[in-house]
Structure 1
Amino acid sequence: MKAVMYLRKSRMEELSNEEETLERHKKSLTEFAKTNKISIIKIYEEVVSGDTLYSRPQMLQLLADVEANKYDAVLCMDIDRLGRSSMSDQGVILETLKQNDTKIITPRKFYDLNNDIDETYSEFESFMARQELKIIKRRLHTGIKRTIKDGGYIANAPYGYDKIYKDKIPTLAINEDEAVFVRMIFDMYVNQGIGSLTIAETLNSLGARPRRSDKFGRTSIVAILKNQVYIGKIVWDKKKHIKKGTKNNTKHITIYNKPEQWTVVDGLHEPIIDKELFESAQEILKNRYHPPYYKGTVENPLAGLVKCGNCGRTMQRQYMHRGERGEWETILCMNKGCIPSAKLAYVEESILHFLYDEMNNIAVELKTEQRPKKDITLLEAALDATEKEISTAKQQRSRLHDLLEQGVYDIPTFTERSKALEEKLATLQEQATAQHDAIKKAQGTNKLKMYKKIKSVLQAYETADAQKRNMMLKSIIREIVYKKEQKSKPHDFALSISFKDL
């Protein structure tokens, strides 16, 4: 009998090491197969939850192989290891095995799904497994609620804290290496009146790094400013996640709850920020919000700048409303279905990061090129001579056609001399381009002018309104081409930014 082994860690074993669990099961099933003379030709291992069939790649591959009639049986620790999710998911698994006459073997029982008694028994066990899963979920949910009400923190530790346990309850301990930057963020924002983008760039220049990205940005700074964990609070039930499985993929839908539905309790952890400073930050954040209606002035800082990478149309600002999730600004191509949209704040932040990087690169180039300015008289004379040669060559090219028409040149002679002349012209034009570049490099004025212009824009940007921001960006940027793939993540877009010739 050709059989495969399917291993999956159950929810009851989530606190144990999955490798140890699967290895223990593998050893038990291997011994069982040896004793019963069952030939194991492949092993499928899975450590994901059994909630949704279509989020389990190994099971999907197993079912595909079963449909190809590769195996006679599936060996597993218990029938609920195959899955105990919805009735429809379990029906797919059992029906696939039945139609292809593939047996289920466990150390406790042999199942032939084409036998009425075995099929009924397997369906009954699957039903009991689903009921057990519901009970486990309720217990887990109750345990989480209890931990939250006791002041425990069960999510990933936020920036400025480390995860610890106190009397077996998960909580947080201050990470002083990061907490110093958290205090700096609130002090700069509230007491010094510095904007979130400038704060982000300051932290990046000081070597601070967030937990899940390469550098701080405006959105990560604002998220820290809004997080009540820094005043010793635990906030839960802000949102809930729903998984919807299809045959092709599993969609994760997030629903944002209203503030009155949140659970807010005092945490066991020590605060990093005092309450008065935190509330001052919230007031500033609230007052900097721009309401979604036209005021007679430009409200989009990127107006007229961003072009769709697919159709070339100018992209527009639009407010999105998703029920209880509230509103936010997006940058959108008005050609319906042309390209996925992105949050305007993400695109704006990416542009500003690009400008900061470009300014710093120019500063490095200027520093390495600091030397007495060259006399460009000879360079200009050489360029003038080259341009005269180009003009003469073009006149010669024109006379070639006259000589051909007059019969002075035959066609082979005309072709030969025309080719030589075109090659000479191409060489001269390349030479002129190189001479132009040499003059610009010797002058060094363009880079310095660009550096000063970008720096002035970035210094004034944070405190400017949308209309002034738009004017400042247009003073240095000619065009921004936006590209984004379908079904990509919110931050996964590409910008191609071209500067004006200053």
Structure 2
Amino acid sequence: MTITTPATAAKVVPTSTITPTVTTKRAAIYLRVSTPRQARKNNEAEGYSIPQQREYCQRRARELGAEVVREYVDAGETARTSDRAALQQMLTDMQSNDAEVTFDYIIVHKLDRLIRDRSDDMALLIAMKKARTELVSVSEAVDASPAGQLLQGVMASINQYYSDNLSLEARKGMAQKARNGGTHGVAPIGYLNTLSREGGQEVKGIAVDTERAPHITWAFHTYATGDWSISTLAEALDARGLRGRVTQKYRGTPLSTAQLHRMLKNPYYTGKIVYQGVVMDGAHPAIIDPFIWQRCQDILADRRLAGDRSWKLSHALKGCLICGRCGGRIGYGKSRGQGGVYDYFFCLGRHTGRTDCDLPYISMEKVEAAVRKEWRRRARLTPTELAEARRNATAQLDAYVSDSETLIAQQTSRLAVLNRRKQKLIDAYLDETLSPEDVKSRQVDVNREIATATHQLRTAEEGRAVLYERLETVLAALEHAATIYDTANDDIKRRLNQAIFEPFQIDLLDDHDQRVPEAQNEAHCAVTGALTAPAAAVAALVGRRGKNAPHTANDKPGPDQGSHDKTPGQLALTGGSNVNYLA
């Protein structure tokens, strides 16, 4: 008779495969190994341990004069829990009313093959007593006698102690490995687990997968543009030839959208590890810049907004617009109507019902025309202004370079202090003196300070020649900015908008510059664009785009406008030089 088991890791052998003997007693044998690797050792179907256990148990059955009628196998299961397919099937058969299924003995090679938890051992004893079944161990003198029951209780306690102590030591080892930046388990795609021998000992490590890492890097940078969905990115990676690693379990298939989503959220690629929810510095090399990774997280978070599917469509102004009424994000869509397809922009706050904003839908043509007008009005310097900006910037460069050594020393010292503080947080967590929630909240603050100090340090270390070259690039772009924008493709336009302007605030106004609650053909789109910090810094060098600059009718202040009205000292990171923004 064959018993169908509920899990592939468990196996019940039919009686037809076991040679019976003429006996009156019926026996079942239970076999187990802890890991799938043990079950497949040396490419054998059952490894080494299971056949050896079977041989000893069958020999013990013959000594008892019993016929082995059932064999239950759990391959790759822990004994710390009784939730094992073959074990549960054995208990069900043992308590059955069918005489063809029940048995008189359960034979195991050792007690720890069956149970390593004292409470499970007691429950098993009670069930066996009700079923009038006796437990027999090949390695221990366990039987139904009082001495045998005493020994079983003692051995059960010893097995639980061994299991609990092993678990404790394993946790200590994992915590120390995390403290050292080690990787737990299999490294994610793009990396390889390595094994080498140093001084006669095996040393495990992590190396960059030169075959797959370039695809991973491309995926992060591509998704960070905001123009790709997870599904289209997965298709592109498939076309590029990216496949998963070939293992005993996997056969190197293309990444699914779920796998790609997990990959994009994994900080491992920035040189970090996550241990019990806490992010720590890893010992492996980073293949993704933290800024690119954070950009991907922001995009993933934005796309979780209910009802927002506008990111599936592409337009040069995507990500460059905000609502002039509520300050919310602007979506882009297409609508089919009389005469064809109409492109439009809309407030996501109103669209999803998250705000009471009343900004109407605005046609793409009106928004594009208003943005081009803003470019011609704001993003241009005359030759005279360019010469003045060049003179002022060169003078500031000289002063900046002389001060940079002091700044480098300050920020280097600051980084050392912050890194020590960060390590203390990790040590406190690993020593269980701080909860994971406390560590996470404090890590956010420390990491933000580290990022700021690192940025200032990198800026200060830039050479004068590099900064002057960047200044010339910025000045040339501002001289011909509007022309460059008009003739550029969508990708270049998007980059220009992000480089020169903060997100444009858009609104729909009537002829008297009053807001309209519904779309009207005669209404016009008003766009207000604050210069980004680098562009505003250059404009401030010529002293004409500051606080006293004249405003046009469309130049209405909004919730985020005003960075272009700051003084040079307010704009600079160090509080005194606009040259920082050229870095």
| TM-score using structure 1 length | 0.47
| TM-score using structure 2 length | 0.41
